[in-house]
Structure 1
Amino acid sequence: MAPEKKIVIEDENEKATMESVVDPAAETPDEKGNVTHSPSDLEAQLAAARAEAKENHDRTLRMAAELENYKKRAARERDDLRKFANERLISQLLTVVDNLERAIASAAADNQNGQSLVDGVSLTLAEIMKILEQNHVTPIESLGEPFDPAFHQAMCQEACSDQPPNTVVQEYQKGYLIHDRLLRPAMVVVSTAAKNGNADVKTVNTNA
């Protein structure tokens, strides 16, 4: 009985793929016919792997830094939202404070008949100021202080001989802070140097 013959059918596509993967020029057969890569090729592959690893490492560091910055920014935004959530309400409440202060000043001028009114309004104003203080709202001390455009809104200038120039000498309306943020600037009159000893008033808006 004749031995069976094995029939081998070569796949041309597979052969072409294998030939494209293995670059004969980059391989060096040894004495036994085994194919090995040259040292220069191994060094090139190692350098490429190191470059890729460094790039991945740098990308990871950048992503970690961006994530940390996002966390800090989100924390600041949450903190600001908590601190200043009632800013609009308090700003409107300041108008009530202004009216109460004017009522006290007006009634105090008529001290014969207005003392009971002054006492009542003063108690109301004190309660409102207590609420404002609990919400971290504080008035800006302006009188006698140097003019600061970050906290003051100059309504006019007044020549004064008893105050240094650029000093707040009168306050039309108080300014307030909420935490460390300006809630409302103070409307003030700013001093200028007196001319020839005469203290006249010059209505000039310094913000213009």
Structure 2
Amino acid sequence: MSDECKDVSGGREEEFQSGKENIEESQALFDETAGGSPADQAQASVEEAAVSEAQSAIQAAEQKAEENYDKFLRVYAEFENYKKRMDKEKSEFIKYANEGMIKDILVVVDNLERAIEQTKNHDQSEGVALGVEMILKQLKDILDKYGVKEMRAMGEPFDPRLHEAVIHEVADEYEENMVISELQKGYILKDRLIRPAMVKVSKKSRDKAETVMNDEE
């Protein structure tokens, strides 16, 4: 074969090879445009599924984290309420820890006051009465130091929350349901009633009550 034929044949082969390469490039470009080769599409599907699965896992984890945070907030709030309740109970216990002892002391105060009343009409007992009064004052000063106060009842309207009615007595000179005599004093420890006052309460006579009812009519 002549050199010219070889050159022509070689040129045609180069043109054919070049055309083939162009076709392959076009096909590859078409495949990419159309979604890639089946292998690429399969790989893309696998990757897409993995991404979707990861996103689902992330969403589930975020939801779980949010639920756990809500639980934490509820538990924390309950714990804070528990602490406040315990602090209040502790404060109440400290505040009224001496209540039982004070009630016992009040019995002694009652007896001293009765002793003073009984010695007032006896001249020879004046010195004894004075000594008892001094002891009583000391006791009351101690009680006052710990927040114990006498409760005023005489002349007050009867209040079942503060008074214990021992006797109801006709007393037309008083309004009905008034405390007209204090048989035993009531006491308050700080802001708590520790002993109600034992009292005598007024009531109207039947005739007086009927007159009042007629006047109202």
Scaled to the shorter chain, the TM-score interval is 0.7 to 0.9
After superposition, the Cα gap between the structure-2 partners of 1:152 and 1:33, relative to the gap in structure 1 and judged at 3 Å, is: same
* 2:36 matches 1:31: no
Structure 1 match to 2:186: 175
Cα deviation, residue 132, structure 1: 0.3
- Mean CA deviation greater in 119-128 or 66-75: 66-75
Larger Rg: 2
After superposition, the Cα gap between the structure-2 partners of 1:43 and 1:117, relative to the gap in structure 1 and judged at 3 Å, is: same
CA-based RMSD of the aligned residues comes to 2.4
Bigger share in helix: 2
- Residue deviations 1:120-175, cap 9 Å, x none? 11111000000000111111111111111121111121122122222111111111
Bigger share in strand: 1
- Mean CA deviation greater in 180-189 or 50-59: 50-59
Structure 1 match to 2:97: 85
Cα deviation, residue 54, structure 1: 2.8
* 2:121 matches 1:140: no
Match of residue 64, structure 1, among 71, 76, 92: 76
After superposition, the Cα gap between the structure-2 partners of 1:30 and 1:49, relative to the gap in structure 1 and judged at 3 Å, is: farther
Counterpart CA distance in 2 for 1:40 and 1:145 is: 82
Residue type of the partner of 2:75?
A: M
Matches within 5 A, 1:14-163: 31=41, 33-34=43-44, 35=46, 36-37=48-49, 45=57, 48-110=60-122, 112-163=123-174
Name the % identity. 40
Matched length: 169
- Residue deviations 1:162-200, cap 9 Å, x none? 2222211111111111111121111111112233359xx
Counterpart CA distance in 1 for 2:54 and 2:103 is: 72
Residue type of the partner of 1:31?
A: Q
Residue type of the partner of 2:85?
A: R
After superposition, the Cα gap between the structure-2 partners of 1:61 and 1:125, relative to the gap in structure 1 and judged at 3 Å, is: same
Counterpart CA distance in 2 for 1:156 and 1:30 is: 105
Cα deviation, residue 30, structure 1: 6.2
Q: SS of the counterpart of 1:109?
A: coil
Tell me if structure 2 keeps the 8 A contact 1:159–1:195. no
What 5-or-longer segments of structure 2 have no aligned partner? Answer: 1-38, 210-217
Structure 1 match to 2:175: 164
Cα deviation, residue 94, structure 1: 0.7
Counterpart CA distance in 2 for 1:95 and 1:147 is: 23
Counterpart CA distance in 2 for 1:157 and 1:37 is: 91
Counterpart CA distance in 1 for 2:40 and 2:69 is: 38
Tell me if structure 2 keeps the 8 A contact 1:156–1:188. yes
Q: Give the structure-1-normalised TM-score.
A: 0.72
Counterpart CA distance in 2 for 1:30 and 1:186 is: 97
Counterpart CA distance in 2 for 1:156 and 1:38 is: 90
Counterpart CA distance in 2 for 1:192 and 1:121 is: 36
Residue type of the partner of 1:95?
A: V
